[in-house]
Every structure is written in structure tokens, then in C-alpha cells.
């Protein structure tokens, strides 16, 4: 079976002069298998967000290949990448990124609708699965940070994606709430067999992961543990 994500020799340079040692991604390679929970651990500026955005088809590489479930992103075209993103990839961000004028339920249901499912029930179930039963009609401003991130987890899970990409999912939470969110996110992904790739500069995240990829200057190296490593 194809891996969920395969990245081959990926390059991205934001520098208008194209200096190689200024590139955000410098020949990145990685594979994520089905159901794996993986930490992408590295310092600020090491290229984590750039990589996630390219995996999501939001940004495009200068060079290299990205396959999602065996399909090359370049060959899909803009429309194909949008459909893939809506149906097969879930996202979780540092600042939650919920739509402020929609309730918790509506935020989750919108994600489902965009994936082509107009049934309300999975949205209620997804909110229940993250412990938000009874808070479906609240707006993001009426929820704590941890609760908002739970809504974001429900929004990502509800479409039953192949993979969830989480960019600093606990970066805006205190450590106790962050640990609860990581426990919930990794636990639900394991329960549903959803792959999870979490970009982080927090060693805590590694404790919830099957595998640790360390990002250093735009390249990925496999690590056995990040407990001893500097952030």
C-alpha cells in the first residue's frame, strides 16, 4: 500500500536571489505510513510550516515531489489539490483558526460539507468525541483556548481524512491544557487509524508520537527521542 505521504527531495526558497543556504527546504525527504503518529520537531525557522503548507497543497515547492496516498500533487492541478485538501487532509493550527461568526457545530459541519457530506450527525458525533457535547451552539469567543482547539480537532476528524497536519497545535495553550489536547488528538487519531503529523518545537509532543522526525535547516532526520534535545 502507498504511504499516506511521500516527499522526495523537496526544495523551497523564499529568497528572491535564490541563495541555496537561505532556502527554507533543502532536499527534504520523508514518508508517513497509514495510522502513524509523527512529531516533526525543530527550532523556529527550521522549515516546519513551509513543509506542512506544501503537503497541504497550499504552497508549492520549487523542486521535488509530494505524493498524498500515491497521487503526485503537481499532476492534480489546482482544482485537484483543493479537492484533496477538503476531503483527505485535516488541519489544526496554533491559533485554532475557527470562523468567529459560526458556532462550534457550524465550524465542524462546514468542514464536512466541503468534503461533500451534508449529514448533521457526524458533526455532532465529532464534537461528542472531543468532549464538547452540550457546547455545540457556542461561538468560539464563548469557549476557552483548549475548547477551541477541541473544536478544531473535531473539525479535522469529522471528514475522516487520511492525515491530519497540525502546526504547533499546543503553541497557544498552557502546558496542562496542551497535554490534554495532545492526549486527545493523538488518542482519537489512533482510535480511527488516521495518520497525524505534528509540527512542534515542544519536546512534550514527542511523548505522544510513534516516531520523531527532526527538522534542521530545511532537512529531516530521524530521531529516537527528543527528550534530551534542545528545542
Ligand X SMILES: Nc1ncnc2c1ncn2[C@@H]1O[C@H](COP(=O)(O)OP(=O)(O)O)[C@@H](O)[C@H]1O
List residues near Mg ion by CB under 5 A.
48-49
Residue 14 contact partner, candidates ligand X, Mg ion, none, CB within 5 to 8 A by sort of partner:
ligand X
Stretch that binds ligand X, among 46-54, 73-81, 120-128, 221-229 (CB under 6 A): 46-54
The size of the interface with ligand X (CB under 6 A), counted in residues, is 10
Of 136, 153, 145, 1, nearest to 91 by C-alpha is 153
Contact with ligand X (CB under 6 A) among 5, 6, 32, 48: 48
Cβ-count burial 159-197 (b if 16+ within 10 Å, e if not): bbbbbbbbbbbbebbeeebbbbbbebbbebbeeeebbbb
* Nearest distance in Å: CB 50, ligand X: 3
List the beta bridge partners of residue 63: 11
Contact with ligand X (CB under 6 A) among 17, 21, 44, 224: 44
User: Which residue's CB is nearer to ligand X, number 45 or number 116?
Assistant: 45
47 is an interface residue for ligand X by CB under 6 A: yes
**CB closest to Mg ion, residue no:** 49
14 is an interface residue for ligand X by CB under 6 A: yes
Residue 92 — φ and ψ, nearest 5°?
Answer: -135, 135
Residue 46 contact partner, candidates ligand X, Mg ion, none, CB within 5 to 8 A by sort of partner:
ligand X
45 touches 217 (CB < 8 A): no
Residue 42 contact partner, candidates ligand X, Mg ion, none, CB within 5 to 8 A by sort of partner:
ligand X
107 is an interface residue for ligand X by CB under 6 A: no
24 is an interface residue for ligand X by CB under 6 A: yes
3-class SS of residue 9: strand
User: Which residue's CB is nearer to ligand X, number 44 or number 224?
Assistant: 44
* Nearest distance in Å: CB 146, ligand X: 22
Query: What cell was used for 61?
Result: 515547492
**CA angle, 49 as apex, 39 and 37 as ends, to 5°?**
20
Give the whole-angstrom CA distance, residue 68 versus residue 119: 26
* Nearest distance in Å: CB 47, ligand X: 4
For helices 145-157 and 121-129, angle between their N-to-C axes, nearest 10 degrees: 130
46 is an interface residue for ligand X by CB under 6 A: yes
For helices 145-157 and 104-114, angle between their N-to-C axes, nearest 10 degrees: 20
User: Which residue's CB is nearer to Mg ion, number 44 or number 141?
Assistant: 44
3-class SS of residue 54: helix
Of 149, 176, 179, nearest to 164 by C-alpha is 149
By CB under 6 A, name the binding residues for ligand X: 14, 24, 42, 44-50
Amino acid at each position: 500500500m502507498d504511504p499516506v505521504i511521500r516527499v522526495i527531495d523537496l526544495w523551497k526558497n523564499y529568497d528572491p536571489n535564490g541563495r541555496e543556504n537561505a532556502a527554507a527546504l533543502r532536499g527534504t525527504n520523508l514518508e508517513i505510513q497509514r495510522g502513524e503518529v509523527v512529531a516533526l520537531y525543530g527550532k523556529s525557522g527550521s522549515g516546519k510550516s513551509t513543509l506542512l503548507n506544501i503537503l497541504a497543497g497550499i504552497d508549492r515547492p520549487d523542486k521535488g515531489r509530494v505524493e498524498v496516498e500515491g497521487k503526485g500533487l503537481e499532476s492534480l492541478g489546482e482544482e485537484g489539490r483543493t479537492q484533496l485538501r477538503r476531503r483527505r487532509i485535516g488541519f489544526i493550527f496554533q491559533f485554532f483558526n475557527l470562523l468567529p461568526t459560526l458556532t462550534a457545530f457550524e465550524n465542524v459541519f462546514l468542514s464536512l460539507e466541503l468534503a461533500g457530506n451534508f449529514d448533521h450527525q457526524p458533526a455532532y458525533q465529532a464534537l461528542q468525541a472531543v468532549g464538547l457535547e452540550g457546547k455545540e451552539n457556542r461561538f468560539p469567543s464563548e469557549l476557552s483556548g483548549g475548547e477551541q482547539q477541541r473544536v478544531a480537532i473535531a473539525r479535522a476528524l469529522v471528514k475522516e481524512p487520511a492525515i491530519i497536519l497540525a502546526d504547533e497545535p499546543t503553541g497557544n495553550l498552557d502546558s496542562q491544557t496542551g497535554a490534554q489536547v495532545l492526549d486527545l488528538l493523538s488518542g482519537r487519531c489512533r482510535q480511527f487509524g488516521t495518520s497525524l503529523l505534528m509540527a512542534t518545537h515542544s519536546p512534550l509532543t514527542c511523548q505522544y508520537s510513534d516516531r520523531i522526525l527532526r527538522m534542521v535547516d530545511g532537512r529531516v532526520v530521524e530521531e529516537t527521542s527528543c527528550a534530551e534535545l534542545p528545542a
